[in-house]
Amino acid sequence: MGLFDGKKGVVLGVANDRSIAWAIAKEILEQGGECGFTHLPDKADDPKQKNRRRVSRLTDDYENARFLIPMNVQQDDDIASVMNTAAETFGKIDFLLHSIAFASLEDLRGDTVETSREGFKLAMEISAYSLVAVANAAKDIMNPASAIATMTYFGGEKCVPGYNVMGICKAALDASVRYLAYDLGPRGIRVNAISAGPLKTLASSAVGAKGMESLYQHMSPLGRNITHAEVGRVGAFMLSSMSDGITGELLHVDAGYNAMGSPGRLLDQLASNK
């Protein structure tokens, strides 16, 4: 018996095998859950369909990966199409994973104070508002005692230089989790966020995460970095019936880094190097 036997849901945001969304989805699939997936739309003139192919390479290995369709989260019609496909495939769903964020490299690599107006709106729409949009579109096909989870980061709570405008978006995402948890609570739908420590993903390469792995290793209470598998298990837990009493929560999976108020053992290392 798997933790997700008889459970069905939708996973948004898998880009490749290093995606945190895939680590969570893989755990769900291997625990018996049925999943529908989306991928970034491919350009019409791309015969190789690269975005779809990157995801299908993963999902094709699982019979319980039931569909894979494109979705532009900026288009309400696309979001509605995904939910219609989920309803046609599953009837009702038990979980929804949102792992979507984007900002232009120009805005990410500049100082936050220099973020362009259009760049700010684009980043906020895709990285924060998209959770509101998909939750609204999904709420009528979600079973009672179902769950929504999104991916956030510590840069939304504290200033992490290099994370820049994305930190502002994650702060908005974190607040959205709390308000959505309140709105959807009467329906029995829980909404939570998972804040993972630095991992090698497509997104981390764009947001100034270089060197963060070493910092976490030296500062975190566990004295190491986390793994994709660890986040995968926690994400699956938050979308399962094992976490039925948790909503509006931001759960850190970062080897304890967020609990530190000083550099901790890193100070000892710095002292020994003098």
CATH number for the domain including 98? 3.40.50.720
Q: What percent of the chain has pLDDT over 90?
A: 85
Q: Which two tokens stand for residue 60?
A: 């094709």
Residue 203: band (very low, low, confident or very high) from pLDDT cuts 50, 70, 90: low
pTM of the full structure: 0.94
Cα 236 versus chain centre, distance = 12
Q: Which of 40-54, 117-131, 183-197 has the lowest mean pLDDT?
A: 40-54
Count: domains in the chain: 1
**8 A C-beta contact, residue 185 and residue 203:** no
- The dihedral formed by the CA atoms of 214, 215, 216 and 222, expressed in degrees to the nearest 10: 90
Q: Residue 214: what pLDDT? A: 84
Residue 155: band (very low, low, confident or very high) from pLDDT cuts 50, 70, 90: very high
Q: Residue 213: what pLDDT? A: 86
**8 A C-beta contact, residue 100 and residue 71:** no
Residue 3 lies in a domain: no
Say whether 163 is catalytic: yes
- Residues 31 and 8: their CA atoms lie apart, in Å, by 11
Give me the mean pLDDT over the 237-241 stretch.
Answer: 98
Residue 1 lies in a domain: no
pLDDT top residue among 131 and 212: 131
Residue 233 lies in a domain: yes
Residue 268: band (very low, low, confident or very high) from pLDDT cuts 50, 70, 90: confident
Residue 189 lies in a domain: yes
Per-residue pLDDT of 123-145, as tens digits, reads 999 999 999 999 999 999 999 99
Q: What is the DSSP letter of 44?
A: T
Q: Residue 58: what pLDDT? A: 98
Residue 265: band (very low, low, confident or very high) from pLDDT cuts 50, 70, 90: confident
List the catalytic residue out of 153, 179, 216, 257. 153
Closest by CA position to 9, among listed 78, 92, 74, 88: 92
Token match 């504290």: residue? 158
- Residues 94 and 147: their CA atoms lie apart, in Å, by 6
For 245, the domain range is: 8-272
Residue 122 lies in a domain: yes
Q: Is the pLDDT of residue 263 over 90?
A: no
Count Cβ atoms within 10 A of the Cβ of residue 99 and give its class: 0-12 exposed, 13-18 middle, 19 or more buried.
Answer: buried
Token match 């298990």: residue? 233
- Residues 3 and 12: their CA atoms lie apart, in Å, by 20
Length of the chain: 274
**8 A C-beta contact, residue 167 and residue 212:** no
Per-residue pLDDT of 36-49, as tens digits, reads 999 999 987 777 89
Q: Which two tokens stand for residue 272?
A: 């020994």
- Residues 37 and 69: their CA atoms lie apart, in Å, by 7
Q: Residue 43: what pLDDT? A: 87
Cα 27 versus chain centre, distance = 15
Q: Helices 212-219 and 265-272 meet at what angle, rounded to 10?
A: 100
Say whether 257 is catalytic: no
Residue 16: band (very low, low, confident or very high) from pLDDT cuts 50, 70, 90: very high
List the catalytic residue out of 62, 163, 179, 257. 163
Q: Is the pLDDT of residue 32 over 90?
A: yes
Residue 196 lies in a domain: yes
Q: What is the DSSP letter of 49?
A: -
pLDDT top residue among 203 and 204: 203
Contacts of 178 (CB under 8 A, 6+ apart): 248
